[in-house]
Amino acid sequence: MSYTGPDFDPPQPRRPRRGPLTVALAALVPGALLGWVVYEAVGGGGPGGEDRTASPAPAPRTSAVSSSPSSPSALTASPGDDGKADHGRKDDDGGSASAPARPNASGPLKGKVVVVDPGHNPGNFQHTAEINRPVDIGTNRKECDTTGTSTNGGYTEARFTLDVAHRLRTLLEEQGATVKLTRDGDSPSWGPCVDERARIGNTAHADAAVSIHADGSAQGNRGFHVILPGSVHAGAADTRAIVGPSHDLGVRIAGNFVRETGEPPSNYIGEGTGLVTRTDLGGLNLSTVPKVFIECGNMRDTKDSALLTSGAWRQKAAQGISEGIVSFLRES
């Protein structure tokens, strides 16, 4: 997502320069945390935050990234094309894209429904009047959608999110799930609005819903974070029933994502946990099914953008998200 609309938080200020001892200690902490995260993601540990103008609620200190054991078998899929229907096209790395899979009648996720929400739309840039129209998100009114962000080289968030969504759909369908996308290559030229994105998951009675994004913060800010719904009961929004299962879903996705991709938890939001709780997002506030957002990385950081523009890395991202969903659904 970009920082030019209701979907984004402003980058947090850089911390002042520290003395040598503090710097040395600070250098050790992320490595230790990341090692612990990976340990938790593979089952070594015990049980175990769209609109960004407002500051997010701090992530609970007890919500460090962890995960229950992921599905036992590694999933594979052919790379898909960016932002278009993935029938026999080529991705950015020249990989051949396969047609979408069909649910495996005997797969472990047979009967489960997953809604995948690729953030934004390539046409939003040409439809500013439509996407700026306020919609009700329960707590207040926010813009229908935003344009999203892009890398400095022009690779847009909307293309990134749809490509990962196609890969994720293939992986989940191989496990037997029924997968619905909120937008696809043949979608309307803008939107859907954030309230409609939530409604799609609700109408499908999804067992899990995941909104895929990439951030648009400052250079040097990097890493992923998963946004969890906070408890909201106002107007049309009532998340009280989904806060618990959404937290479980988010923790499992975060743990598997870091294990599959090697991408560290965000160094600028979430206090190193990779988890952030929010109560100002229409896509979460209006959901009646377990749902989380994942910001896969920062498109404006050169290290992260090199990963986000790689088809091979996007496959790993889809793999990590898929394994988190599979883990959640097999336990639910």
Active site residues: 295
Q: Which two tokens stand for residue 316?
A: 């790993």
Q: Which residue has the tokens 């996720």?
A: 109
C-alpha–C-alpha distance, residues 156 and 127, integer Å = 16
DSSP state of 323: H
Q: Which residue has the tokens 């200020």?
A: 13
Encoded amino acid at 260, one letter: E
C-alpha–C-alpha distance, residues 284 and 289, integer Å = 9
C-alpha–C-alpha distance, residues 111 and 304, integer Å = 36
Residue 118 preceded by cis peptide, ω within 30: no
C-alpha–C-alpha distance, residues 279 and 262, integer Å = 29
DSSP state of 79: -
Q: Which two tokens stand for residue 291?
A: 């749902």
C-alpha–C-alpha distance, residues 163 and 160, integer Å = 5
DSSP state of 314: H
- Report how far apart the first and last C-alpha atoms of the chain are (Å, whole number): 30
